[in-house]
Structure 1
Amino acid sequence: MPTHAEQRLIAYTPDQLFDLVADVEKYPQFLPWCVKASIRTQTEQELVADLTIGFGPFRETFTSRVTLERPSRIRVRYEKGPFRYLNNVWTFTPDPRGCLVDFFVDFEFRSRLLQNAMGVVFNEGVRLMVSAFIKRARDIYGTQATKAVPPTPGLSQRT
């Protein structure tokens, strides 16, 4: 089953990055393959959202429960749709140079056909998604906060 874990040091605050990830309704504006997002219910600690993802002829909508642990963690728990399961966690840790972001996603489609199709594009898709959040941070918060941060020994990208 596709799993991706990535750790990045990003020159924004945990609050800023938390707000970007928690703003689910804006995902279609900047996330590759996200064509629609709607919030069913929302409180300060949790929201339930429907996301429609699509590429080529493929379009699927799924429902997730998103737990908001401001400003350190966002957990996404799959509820309904084309997956057997989907787990996604964002962790935001303060760092003198910005924020250390840990991203984890693991999922399996119910359909073997979809699973095989996604396996081909999964790794590139996740990299594009994380990069899209970083670009969104620049677009929203500006570049003055984004001094180039050199790679840190021990940080990893695992696929």
Structure 2
Amino acid sequence: MTKLRLERDLPYAPAQLWEMVGDVERYPEFIPWIKSLRANNRTVDADIVRFDADVTVGFKLLTERFSTRVTRAAEALLVDFDLIRGPFRKLQGRWTFTPSALGTKVAFDLDIDIRNPILDAVFKANFNLAVSKLLAIFEARARQLYGPKR
């Protein structure tokens, strides 16, 4: 099992970054390893939106499919995801967005355990790089959507 917490301060409003990260259906447009994503079973309860995301990811010759339950909480500025099915024993994540002097402190927590020992070894060897790259991709997306840093 691998747990990680990464934080970054970004010069954008918390609500902007929450909206961008929570717009999961657009991930294939800007995250290169997400080959497809289909959202279904959407429910809305006050400020909380839940849906299932069926995702196909690909790295070189490796392709995997999995499904997560995504929860977007507008008032709390949270985006959570939990495994429904796929090549993991566990996959849970949470994005939080809190005001900071720079704009927003973005925190990403990930708890993952991969069933396949070979995939797990490859993932662990590249884990920090992959998650850092993911945060850089989201930062670039924020610049694209909201303009350059102030």
How far 1:3 sits from its partner (Å)?
Answer: 2.1
- Amino acid aligned to 1:128: K
Structure number with the bigger relative contact order (C-alpha 8 A, sep ≥ 6) is 1
Cα distance in 2 for partners of 1:29, 1:2 equals 27
Determine the structure 1 residue equivalent to 2:25.
Answer: 25
Secondary structure at the aligned position of 1:89 is classed as strand
Mapped pair 1:119 → 2:131: no
Deviations 1:58-116 (A, max 9, x none): 11111000111115211111111111000100011122421111111110111111111
Picking from 46, 66, 77, the partner of 2:70 is 66
Cα distance in 2 for partners of 1:61, 1:96 equals 39
- Amino acid aligned to 1:22: G
Cα distance in 2 for partners of 1:21, 1:89 equals 11
Mapped pair 1:87 → 2:92: yes
The structure with more strand, counted as a fraction of residues: 2
Extract unaligned runs of 5+ from structure 2. Answer: none
Contact 1:32 1:128 in 2 (8 A): no
Question: For 1:89-108, what aligned pairs fall within 5 Å after superposition?
Answer: 89-108=94-113
Mapped pair 1:50 → 2:82: no
Contact 1:10 1:98 in 2 (8 A): yes
Determine the structure 2 residue equivalent to 1:135.
Answer: 140
- The two structures, once aligned, show a CA RMSD in angstroms of 1.3
| TM-score, reference length from structure 2 | 0.91
Instruction: Tell me the number of residue pairs that the alignment of Structure 1 and Structure 2 aligns.
Output: 145
Cα distance in 1 for partners of 2:143, 2:14 equals 14
| TM-score, reference length from structure 1 | 0.86
- Amino acid aligned to 2:107: D
Extract unaligned runs of 5+ from structure 1. Answer: 148-159
Indicate the larger mover: 39-48 or 76-85: 39-48
Deviations 1:15-48 (A, max 9, x none): 1111111111111111131111110122342111
